[in-house]
Amino acid sequence: LSSLVKPSLSIITSIGSSHLESLGSYDNIRKEKLDILTGEDKGNIIILDGDSEYEYSLKNRLEHKTIYCGTVNNECDFKAENIQALCFNTIYDAVWNNFRQRIVLPAEGLHNVKNSLCAFAAGILCGIRPENAASAIARFTPTGDRQRIYTTNNITVIADCYNASPESMKAAFGVLASKNGRKIAVLGDMLELGKDEKRFHTENARLAAQTADILIFIGSFANLCKDTLPDKKEVYAYNTDDKKNAAALLISIMKPGDIILFKGSRRIHIDDIIKEAAL
């Protein structure tokens, strides 16, 4: 595809655990993602995550001009500073060279800050005025169930079940943790993780337990996740084909003021529970 498009600028937003099953290692995932450069002329631009060791380690090693975006690494070319999480929005300053632009992002989570900063940087590098790039970001709307946040019957729903990986789960828990109220997490399996899939699921269960008051696990790893948390009282496990009973449980326990996160790999169809619970 890159050879057909021949981009003058490319972006790799993250290198994570997704596709470990088929690619085998993080190094192979990085190599596969760098294939985006095959259609790009040498000397053109690649935007990378400056907070990621797998991406920042590429500094001065590519034949392309590398531009780094991040929130932590002070060596980044574009950095997000003064990040403020608000209800349904995030405000931050995009800082580059000696310039600063206030960004109002209609999305939550540090991962979305990084993604929008990459988009902002791409705009600047393509000659778009900073205020116009910021205005475009302010009109962003998520598609499908990619962290779609809304309120119904005084219940806040975080529908983030288009797909899932350990990294995106952690990001979703961060958004859930920022909300005030009783927190329920409905979590499906994470797929394509390879030989360490059990470890990823148990680690994810422990991380979820730090944020959610009630946990409902769905899928082949549901019982494993539940057994990982013997001291957690309100933990439930259902098979993938038992989502109707999971929805019935959710209906029986949810109440106004709750925040409910729905997250899982696409093939688990966690969105079925949202529909069944009429949320």
For 23-50, how does the pLDDT look when each residue is reduced to its tens digit (9 = 90+)? 999 899 999 998 888 888 888 999 999 9
Residues with Cβ within 8 Å of 69's Cβ and at least 6 positions away in sequence, in order, are 47, 48, 49, 50, 76, 77, 78, 79, 80, 114, 117, 118, 121
Tell me the two tokens of residue 270.
């966690």
Same domain? 107 vs 8: yes
Per-residue pLDDT of 169-223, as tens digits, reads 999 999 999 999 999 999 999 999 999 999 999 999 999 999 999 999 999 999 9
Same domain? 95 vs 172: no
- CB-CB contact of 172 with 158 (8 Å): yes
Whether residue 63 lies inside any domain: the answer is yes
Same domain? 126 vs 68: yes
pLDDT at residue 148 in the model = 93
Whether residue 109 lies inside any domain: the answer is yes
Same domain? 130 vs 164: no
Residues with Cβ within 8 Å of 81's Cβ and at least 6 positions away in sequence, in order, are 71, 92, 93, 95
- Indicate the residue among 106, 138, 170 that finishes a domain: 138
For the beta sheet containing 89-96, the strands, ordered from the edge strand earlier in sequence to the opposite edge, are 9-11, 45-49, 65-70, 78-86, 89-96, 99-105
CA-based diameter of the chain, in Å? Answer: 59
Domain count for the chain, please give it. Answer: 2
Q: By 3-state DSSP, what share of the chain in percent is helix, strand and coil, each rounded to 5?
A: 40, 25, 35
- CB-CB contact of 59 with 67 (8 Å): no
Tell me the whole-structure pTM to 2 decimals: 0.90
- Range of the structural domain that residue 267 is part of: 148-276
Residue at token pair 């929008």: 116
Residue at token pair 């098979």: 239
Describe the crossing of helices 130-138 and 110-125 by its angle, rounded to 10 degrees.
140
- Indicate the residue among 138, 156, 185 that finishes a domain: 138
Whether residue 125 lies inside any domain: the answer is yes
Task: Report the CATH number that the domain containing residue 256 is assigned in CATH.
Answer: 3.90.190.20
- Indicate the residue among 138, 168, 203 that finishes a domain: 138
Same domain? 173 vs 253: yes
Same domain? 28 vs 107: yes
Amino acid at 265: S
Whether residue 112 lies inside any domain: the answer is yes
Same domain? 162 vs 219: yes
pLDDT at residue 212 in the model = 98
Task: Report the CATH number that the domain containing residue 78 is assigned in CATH.
Answer: 3.40.1190.10
Same domain? 157 vs 129: no
Tell me the residue length of the chain: 279
Same domain? 249 vs 201: yes
Whether residue 143 lies inside any domain: the answer is no
Per-residue pLDDT of 58-111, as tens digits, reads 998 999 999 999 999 999 999 999 999 988 899 999 999 999 999 999 999 999
Same domain? 168 vs 54: no
Same domain? 124 vs 169: no
Closest to 130 measured CA to CA, from 107, 97, 108, 152: 97
